[in-house]
Amino acid sequence: MRSDNEQIELGNFKANYFDADTTDEDVETNSVVTEVIDETTTEHRIIFVNHLQPTRYCNNHISTAKYSALSFVPSFLFEQFRRYSNCFFLFIALLQQIPDVSPTGRYTTLVPLIFILSVSAIKEVVEDIKRHRADDEINHRKVEVLRDGHWLWVQWLNVAVGDIVKVHNNTFFPADLAILSSSEPQAICYIETSNLDGETNLKIRQAIPETARLLEIKDLTQFTGTLECELPNRHLYEFSGILKETNKQTLPLGPDQLLLRGAMLRNTSWVFGIVIYTGHETKLMKNSTSAPLKRSTVDKMTNRQILLLFIILIVLCLLSAVFSELWSTSHPNDWYIGINDLINANFGYNLLTFIILYNNLIPISLQVSLEVVRFVQAIFINMDTDMYHEESDTPAMARTSNLNEELGQVKYIFSDKTGTLTRNVMDFKKCSIADNIYTLEETPYETQLVKNLQSGHPTAPYIREFLILMSVCHTVIPEKAYDNEIHYHAASPDEQALVKGACQFGYVFDTRTPNHVEIDALGTRERYEILNVLEFTSTRKRMSVIVRNPDGQIKLYCKGADTVIYERLAPDGQLFREETLRHLENFATEGLRTLCCAVSDVSDDAYEEWKDTYYKASTSLQYRERKLEDAANLIENNLILLGATAIEDKLQDQVPETIAALIKADIHVWVLTGDKQETAINIGYSCKLIVHGMPLLIINEDSLDNTREVIARHSSEFGDQLRKQNEVALVIDGKTLKYALSCDVRRDFLDLCVSCNVVICCRVSPIQKAEVVELVTSHTKSVTLAIGDGANDVAMIQRAHVGIGISGVEGLQAACASDYSIAQLFTAAPPLAMGLFDKVCSAETMLKYPALYKPSQNADLFNVKVFWVWILNALGHSILLYWLPLLAAEKDVIWSNGREGGYLLLGDIVYSYVVVTVCLKAGLVTNAWTWLTHLAIWGSIATWFIVLVMYSNFWPSLPVGAVMLGMDRMMYTSPVFWLGLFLIPFASLIADITYKVVHATAFKSVTEMVRESEIRKADPGKVIMKETKHSPANSVINFLHLGSRIHPEINTVFRLTETARLLKNVRNVFTFTRRSATRVNMEVELSHGFAFSQEEGGAVTQSEVIRAYNTNLPKPGGM
């Protein structure tokens, strides 16, 4: 609660504020403020600037952990007792507490159960503490907050709604802010939202002009008023609000003034902003979901089978209780047994006794073994040097061990693009100029390009024009550091890479003013007047600048996709067309992003006439965009082709090789990204997810009906191949995906998706990512894995069976949200050794031949059938292991002197045979014999015999086991026991041995043949190749048979590579209407590696940005 002084201060402020200007509008606002005291009853939030808030808002603390101090016990117990086995063991433990019912000790089940729960609890606590620590790292970051007229460094968790904060360059925003002003001209700032939407390009945000003047502390402290905005919601790209400064006009606020938590400030020294949403009310956290309690597929399946085992147990107990009653009734005179003396000798008590007696049908040691194996496996993952990232000193971390077995059954992988497949780093690699390819060297003068330029090579004029284009045709802002090093700020990472590339060739761009730019061209300063900028859009696919060079000539420099450049070339400007096309294909094959470059001379008269046309188009009230496009087309023609650039969007290490291995292992890789379609497809090519010649199905629709129609048409085109694997890539954008995920379309959409080997979803929101993962997870019954490194990936990571978070450039939030009992008797060691160390073949062989992964992926090694085969196998062993020793001791004589040992000795003999049989059976199914496996199997047998000796001699020294006194001597001196020790386990396993021999001889699997090759130290590749020759034709062949039925569009796409090679008459190809050529154009561009990232329709146009900057003037300090 607020103090009395705070309430009086707030009341005085509201009275003064609303009395200051009593217009009708203020009266209306006053009534709204009165309502907003209880935000749950209104549709608006009102924030008082530089004053206390009337409402207590959500704090800025965030948590991605599974548990809190209060929720741990109930949540943990719920999670544990969702397992029927634990419920059964609790039931048995309670029964054992009833006097005169249990034939066993009171704690034989309770203690192991408590041990299991304790180990699980400790494991969950340890794993969740790691999540809390990661959350604490974020919550305890610091930001400058204006408090009492001073900037104070405050932890993020203490930032509150209404605070005015100062965020510095290259730091994340601590909450959702409304920008007030910045260090840049016209209060603009650059933000990187790859953590939110996966887009690599920077976005521009701009404060309203009325607050752009707030550049110092005194300005901020004197600023009072209210900010009214919508209530917290998850819509990342929507925002509406109004700002009303005291005694001034109400001003509108929109998405262009919103700075979201999770985004990072770039290329801007500082911004001032007012906090509007905090903590779990920020749009980022609204798009996240609570951490789920995940269970593995094996866990779920085993859980169901244990329920069936319990039913079998109850049936056995009922039968035993019934026959016990019948026997007792038929033997009323057997007084020496003492049945008549028992007060609990009735059907109900007998039933409970049999349930306790038979409870080992569901062994508690199995649960103990599973928990230990998972826990140790998690430690192995954490210690795996192959997953250690040396650059950042970051090891792998299994944040949960409950899902280890899922890693061997993954069928679908959902991957983010930015920061996961790519490093989000653009580098200029090479260029093609006048039929020659040039690369970078240590210094400009070492490059062949500069040597040709300075030596008067015949292509020197083209080289010079090309370098001028790279250093002038852009919207980059240069900034000189204290050491005179130039830092380039750009909304487009592609443009930044091009300008840096020009620098490395000796053409250094260093000055920008509203009217001109200056470059240092190999030591010569040159000034170019910027006359016009024709901006890049996804429709235009090109960007041009019109400049006046130092000689007074007007030039138009244009860069863009090869299709739009080629169709605008002059007849005499195509000298290098064919060779440049070949270079483009070569660049694309290497996975590089390409742009074509061209230039044209413009006469003064032609420019003046065009300028008038362009001005009229820019001021038109109707069809302005179309008229501007028509005006641009008037001057962007008669171009002279200079060449092409090649930029590398750097991939993470070994990405193409990893994806190739995953595909060979029959794992489907889907890319879910918020980035642009062209960029995502280009990355698909560069990481070899999409191969050249693979058909592309591109679905971009703007309505539900169109989406339904397109999905139905493509599904029908697949015919019999629907829901089967086909070498086709499906590409869909976020707007269309919204319709595709609607109730009546989603199933057909899923059928289409699973028919394609590759699926790429572009421009998707975090919730859409999660919905796609949920769709596949729930309807295909396949094990899914999601991997990402940004906050926008958290939701999909949590929805997948297995979530992998990367501690990447985009932050730690994805990593924070990601996933990663002593035995009852002596036969637990072999399962532990097998679970930890057994393997079919070496890791190197598995990586070399990914197809070996399929048996585990298809659950061939453990499923319902396998489970019950083992149950029946165990039942057969049980029958033999009980009846054979019983028949051997039928006449009660097991020594030569005619003595007998009673039922206790028979029980110990049977159990000895059980231990030997179980260990030998484990040896039969073991694939990899390590020294630990030998120790577990043979050591378990030896340990039993040693423990029996110890336990048989405890009494009377220790008051336990009186009935076991001398049991070791009795058993070890019996020749019947030793004969049975050799014969009975062998007799029990004879069927298993026979099956093993027959299967390994006549029905050997590929995996087993590979293992035998390794044992013989032969090349397993010969086995793989031999089996491949006999395998059915792959899906590529099947898809080729589809050609007669498939839609002509797909056939066109399938022939793209050939089409691109035959583009000798490019101008003729594009004489068709733009609408019919759009799809072919896009595919040709993508096959040539075209991609360009830049924000479209932002707060400020790129033309306005460059006109606002003067790098010769100092920036405000914001103090």
- Active-site residue set: 416
Q: Are 21 and 37 in contact (CB under 8 A)?
A: no
* H/E stretch holding 669: strand 668-672
The amino acid present at 407, given as its one-letter code, is: L
β-pair type (436-439, 668-672) = unpaired
Instruction: Encode 632-650: b = buried (16+ Cβ within 10 Å), e = exposed.
Output: beebbebbbbbbbbbbbbe
- Give the CA diameter of the chain: 129
3-state helix, strand, coil in the chain (%, to 5): 50, 20, 35
Taken in order 159, 162, 166, 167, the sign of the CA dihedral is positive
CA distances from 43 to 33, 260, 396, 605, 803 (A): 12, 21, 45, 58, 36
Task: Note whether 681 and 760 are within 8 A (CB).
Answer: yes
CB atoms within 10 A of CB 40: 6
Residue 1052 is encoded by which pair of tokens? 């066109």
Crossing angle of helices 1021-1029 and 1006-1015, rounded to 10°: 160
Q: Give, in degrees to the nearest 5, the angle at Cα 309 between 308 and 310.
A: 90
DSSP string, 713-727: HHHHHHGGGTTS--S
**What would the DSSP string read from start to end of 1065-1080?**
GHHHHTTS-HHHHHHH
Cβ neighbours for 980, distance < 8 A, ≥ 6 positions apart: 884, 885, 888, 909, 913
Under 8 Å between Cβ of 140 and 418 = no
d(CA 261, CA 943): 60
338's tokens? 């003492």
Give strand pairing partners of 598. 558, 641
Contact 555, 601 (CB under 8 A): yes
Dihedrals phi, psi of 24, to nearest 5 degrees: -60, -35
Helix (H, G, I), strand (E, B) or coil at 326: helix
CB 909 within 8 A of CB 971: yes
Concatenating the DSSP letter of every residue in 73-107 gives HHHHHHHHTTSHHHHHHHHHHHHTTSTTT-SS-TT
Assess contact for 942 and 847: CB atoms under 8 A: no
Classified as helix, coil or strand, 643 is: strand
Backbone angles phi, psi at 55, to 5 degrees: -125, 140
Terminal Cα-to-Cα distance of the chain (whole angstroms): 34
